[in-house]
Structures are given as C-alpha cells and as structure tokens.
Amino acid sequence: MTETTDTALDETETTTSEVVVDPPAEDAPEGSDLESDPDTFPREVVEDLRKENGRYRQRAQKADDYAKRLHHELVRATGKLADPSDLTFDEDHLTDPEKLTAAVDDLLARKPHLATRKPAGDIGQGGRGSGDAPLGLLDLLKMHT
C-alpha cells in the first residue's frame, strides 16, 4: 500500500513541477542566446537604472515629508486647533486655503474640544496697579530683585 501512495505522490509532483518552455521562434537564427535579445540589458545599465530609481524614490519620500510638515504648519497658522496634527493630511489643503479653512471648521464643528483655548479676563498675571500710587522704597526693592 505504501508503494501506491509513493507513486501517486511522485505523479502529482511531476505534474505540478513541470515547466512548459516555448519552442524557439522560427525566425530566430540558430545559436542566438539571450544576450543578443533586444530586451536584455547589460548588468551595469540595470544597476545604474536601479540606483537612479532609488534616488527618485528618496526624493519623492522627502517631498512627501515636506508636504506633511507644510500642512502641519499651515494648520498651526490658522490658530484654531490646539494640536495641528488633529487634522489629517490632505494635499488639497496645500493648494487651496479655502479647503483648509473649511476642513478645520468642519473638524471643530464635529469635535469642539480640539479648539485652541485662550485665557480671557483677569487670570492673575500682569500688572495690577493703577499706576497712580506713589513709588516707595518697597516698590523699588521689588523692581530690582
């Protein structure tokens, strides 16, 4: 019984691992190899093209990073959001300031807790005197310390 199982496996392996090779073209001259094929390039040319393509990919990645940074700063310049990274990146915001403003306003309408909070009124900082009081020794000492 093991013999039939082994032969059955061998038959399935050979059928799945067979590779069909196209016969050579009739108009191809005898003795031609892959190097004379017009679609094959020397190794140096391929390596140069890969390096050049790699440089373009790096440049594109830098451009994407710069675009995201610009978007972040444009959102910050509106002054409406506490954290500019709350608005997701969209390339249309870079070219159309109206779309950027509309997106920020839409985000604030949906999530008002993301808005910038600016203190208003008397928060206990800054000058409190009326300026009419005479200047005394204690006031001079406070100014110089």
Average pLDDT, the chain: 77
Does residue 115 sit in helix, strand or coil? strand
Q: In angstroms, what CA-CA distances link 141 with 39, 135, 137?
A: 88, 11, 6
Task: Identify the band that residue 40 occupies on the pLDDT scale cut at 50, 70 and 90.
Answer: confident
Instruction: Check residue 12 and give its pLDDT.
Output: 44
Which pTM does this prediction carry?
A: 0.50
CB-based burial, 36-59: b 16+ in 10 Å, e otherwise: eeeeeeeeeeeeeeeeeeeeeeee
Residue 108 predicted with pLDDT over 90: yes
Q: pLDDT confidence of 117, banded at 50, 70, 90?
A: confident
Among 88-97, 109-118, 127-136, the range scoring the smallest mean pLDDT is: 127-136
The whole-angstrom distance between residue 117's C-alpha and the CA centroid of its chain comes to 29
Q: Single out the residue of 91, 84, 89, 90 nearest to residue 108, CA to CA.
A: 84
